[in-house]
C-alpha cells in the first residue's frame, strides 16, 4: 500500500510530474538503479534524451539536461547573493574535504591555494619532471620494437595509465609509483581502479536505498568501499607527510600547496586537507588523461585518414623529437581538434557529476525546478545527441577547425558548446591546461615515432566499455609500426 501510494504521488502530485520522460522512471528509482549498475547508464540516458528532449525526469527526484546551456545554468557563475546549485552530498560524501566536493567557502580557499601548482610558471618549472616520464614511456615502446627495427603489439591503454600515474604520483607525493619501471601497476593504483565499480554500487544504494546500504556496511565491514577509501586516504597522508619531511624544494604540488598555504592569510591547508587533495589529484590527473589518450589512439588507429593528417602535421612541424616540448606543441592545431573530438566521442568522465537545486529552486531551460532536486548532465549522452552534433557518432576532428563543412558534411555549430570535458564555472577542472599540454606532448612524441593500427578484434570493442562514474576500459592492443626519419 505504501509503495502504491508513493508511485501514485510521484506520477500525479510530485512537483516534477509535468516534466517529459518515461513514466516508469518517474514512478520509481528502480529503472535508474538498474541502468546505473549495468554500466550502461550513459547510453540509456542518451536514448531517453533522443526520444523525450533536452530536459527529462529520470527518477522521482532527479532531472537530466542535454542542452549546452544547461552547463552554465547549473554549474556556471552565480549572481551576487544567488546561492549555487550545490554538490550532491551523497555523491561527494567522501570528497567533502577536497576541492571536488567542498562547500563554497572551502572550495574557494582550496582553489586559491592549489592554483599555485597549476600556474603558467609552475607548468614551466614542472616540464623537466614530467618530460622524464614521457622519455621513459618512449624508451619502453622502443624496447618493444627492438629499437624501432620491428613492429610490436602492446596494450597502449595500460602504458598510458603507467605514464600518467607516474607523472601525477611524482607531482603529488614527490615520487612516482614505479609503473613505467616495472611495467605494472602499483598496488595502490590497482586498488583505486578496482574501487570504481564498488563506489558506483555504494552510491546508488545510498541515493535510493540508504537503509539497505547501512545493513550491508554492518554485515560486511571488511569489504565495504568506505573501508577501502579510508585505507587510500591514510596512504595519501603518509606520502604527503613523508614529502613534507624531506625538506626538498622541487616544483611539485606539495611544494605549491605549502607555498600557497603560506601566502593565504586566511586558513592554510591542514595535513589532512593536503592529503585529501593530493589523493584527488592522483585520480583526476591520471585516469582521465590516460583515458583521453587511449580514446585518441583508438580513433587514430581506426580512422587512417585522420592519423595520416595528424602525422603530417607532427612530422612536418619538427626536425627532431627533441623539439617537441610544452611550448612547441601549441603549434599543433589539428592535434587539438583530434583530442577534442576523441573526448567528445569518449569523454574521460562519462558520468554525471550531480548537483542539487539551490534553496528556493530555480528555472532551468524554462522549467521550474524545486529545491533539492537532483540536477544531472551526462557528458557521453550529451556528446552523442544528434541535436547537438552533426553525425554525432563519427570521428570528424575537422568540426573543431572553424569550417562550416567537411567532405559534404555540413556542421551545425550552434550547439558545439555542449562539449565541456573540463566542466564550466567556478568549479571547472583546475588542471585543464596541464592536462592539455601533457596529452599533446605525449601524443606528438608517440605519433613522431610510430604509425598505429588496431591489432585484434578485442580492441575494436574499446568504445563499448562500461562505465561506473569512470570507464572500466577494455584492452587497447595496438600494432606499433616504427617510423624511420630522414634527417632534415
DSSP string, 75-106: HSPPPTTPPP-PBPTTTTGGGTTSTTT--HHH
pTM, two decimal places: 0.94
Spacing of C-alpha 305 from chain mean position: 27
* Grid cell at residue 99: 576541492
Mean pLDDT of 68-85: 92
Q: Is the pLDDT of residue 389 over 60?
A: yes
Q: Is the pLDDT of residue 63 over 80?
A: yes
Closest by CA position to 77, among listed 96, 104, 115: 104
Closest by CA position to 452, among listed 443, 462, 439: 443
Beta carbons of 88 and 360 less than 8 angstroms apart: no
What pLDDT score does 206 carry? 79
Beta carbons of 217 and 256 less than 8 angstroms apart: no
What pLDDT score does 266 carry? 63
Beta bridge partners of 153: 479
Instruction: Report the length, in residues, of the chain.
Output: 488
What pLDDT score does 202 carry? 77
How confident is residue 325, by pLDDT bands cut at 50, 70 and 90? very high
Closest by CA position to 290, among listed 430, 153, 180: 180
End-to-end Cα spacing for the chain: 81
For residue 245, count CB atoms less than 10 angstroms from its CB and return exposed for 0-12, middle for 13-18, buried for 19 or more: exposed
Mean pLDDT of 122-128: 95
Q: Give CA–CA dist 61/286, Å, rounded.
A: 33
Q: Regarding predicted confidence, which is higher, 80 or 52? A: 52
Tell me whether residue 179 is annotated as binding.
Answer: no
How confident is residue 471, by pLDDT bands cut at 50, 70 and 90? very high
Q: Give CA–CA dist 204/216, Å, rounded.
A: 13
What pLDDT score does 209 carry? 74
The 10s digit of each residue's pLDDT in 393-426 is 999 999 999 999 999 999 998 999 999 999 999 9
How confident is residue 224, by pLDDT bands cut at 50, 70 and 90? low
Q: Is the pLDDT of residue 314 over 90?
A: yes
What pLDDT score does 465 carry? 94
How confident is residue 215, by pLDDT bands cut at 50, 70 and 90? low
Mean pLDDT of 259-264: 77
Amino acid at each position: 500500500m505504501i509503495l502504491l501510494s508513493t508511485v501514485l504521488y510521484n506520477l500525479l502530485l510530485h512537483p516534477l510530474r509535468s516534466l517529459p520522460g518515461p513514466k516508469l522512471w518517474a514512478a520509481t528509482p528502480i529503472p535508474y538503479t538498474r541502468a546505473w549498475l549495468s554500466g550502461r547508464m550513459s547510453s540509456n540516458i542518451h536514448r531517453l534524451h533522443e526520444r523525450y528532449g533536452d530536459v527529462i525526469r529520470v527518477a522521482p527526484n532527479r532531472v537530466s539536461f542535454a542542452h549546452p546551456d544547461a552547463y552554465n545554468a547549473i554549474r556556471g557563475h552565480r549572481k551576487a547573493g544567488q546561492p549555487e546549485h550545490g554538490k550532491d552530498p551523497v555523491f561527494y560524501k567522501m570528497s567533502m574535504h577536497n576541492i571536488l566536493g567542498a562547500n563554497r567557502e572551502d572550495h574557494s580557499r582550496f582553489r586559491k591555494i592549489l592554483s599555485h601548482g597549476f600556474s603558467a610558471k609552475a607548468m614551466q618549472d614542472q616540464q623537466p619532471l614530467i618530460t622524464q616520464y614521457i622519455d621513459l614511456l618512449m624508451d619502453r615502446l622502443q624496447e618493444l620494437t627492438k629499437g624501432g627495427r620491428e613492429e610490436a603489439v602492446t596494450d597502449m591503454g595500460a602504458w598510458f595509465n603507467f605514464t600518467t600515474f607516474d607523472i601525477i604520483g611524482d607531482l603529488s607525493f614527490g615520487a612516482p609509483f614505479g609503473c613505467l619501471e616495472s611495467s605494472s601497476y602499483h598496488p595502490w593504483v590497482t586498488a583505486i581502479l578496482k574501487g570504481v565499480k564498488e563506489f558506483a554500487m555504494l552510491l546508488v544504494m545510498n541515493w535510493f536505498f540508504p537503509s539497505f546500504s547501512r545493513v550491508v556496511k554492518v554485515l560486511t565491514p571488511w569489504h565495504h568501499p568506505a573501508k577501502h577509501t579510508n585505507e587510500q586516504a591514510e596512504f595519501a597522508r603518509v606520502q604527503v607527510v613523508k614529502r613534507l619531511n624531506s625538506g626538498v624544494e622541487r616544483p611539485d604540488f606539495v611544494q605549491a600547496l605549502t607555498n600557497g598555504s603560506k601566502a593565504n592569510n586566511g586558513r592554510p591547508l591542514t595535513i589532512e586537507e593536503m592529503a585529501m587533495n593530493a589523493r584527488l589529484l592522483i585520480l583526476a590527473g591520471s585516469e582521465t588523461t590516460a583515458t583521453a589518450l587511449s580514446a585518441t589512439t583508438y580513433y587514430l588507429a581506426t580512422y587512417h585518414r585522420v592519423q595520416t593528417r595528424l602525422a603530417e602535421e607532427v612530422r612536418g612541424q619538427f626536425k627532431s623529437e627533441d623539439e617537441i616540448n610544452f611550448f612547441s606543441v601549441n603549434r599543433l592545431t589539428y592535434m587539438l581538434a583530434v583530442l577534442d573530438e576523441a573526448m567528445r566521442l569518449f569523454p574521460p568522465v562519462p558520468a554525471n557529476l550531480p548537483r542539487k537545486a539551490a534553496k528556493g529552486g530555480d528555472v532551468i531551460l524554462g522549467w521550474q525546478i524545486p529545491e533539492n532536486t537532483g540536477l544531472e548532465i551526462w557528458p557521453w549522452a550529451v556528446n552523442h545527441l544528434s541535436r547537438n552534433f552533426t553525425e554525432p557518432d563519427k570521428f570528424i576532428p575537422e568540426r573543431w577547425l572553424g569550417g562550416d563543412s567537411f567532405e559534404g558534411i555540413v556542421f551545425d555549430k550552434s550547439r558545439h558548446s555542449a562539449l565541456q570535458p573540463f566542466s564550466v564555472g567556478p568549479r571547472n577542472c583546475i588542471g585543464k591546461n596541464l592536462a592539455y599540454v601533457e596529452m599533446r606532448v605525449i601524443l606528438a612524441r608517440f605519433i613522431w615515432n610510430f604509425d598505429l593500427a588496431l591489432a585484434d578484434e578485442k580492441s575494436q570493442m574499446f568504445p563499448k566499455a562500461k562505465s561506473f562514474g569512470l570507464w572500466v576500459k577494455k584492452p587497447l592492443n595496438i600494432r606499433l609500426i616504427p617510423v624511420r626519419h630522414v634527417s632534415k
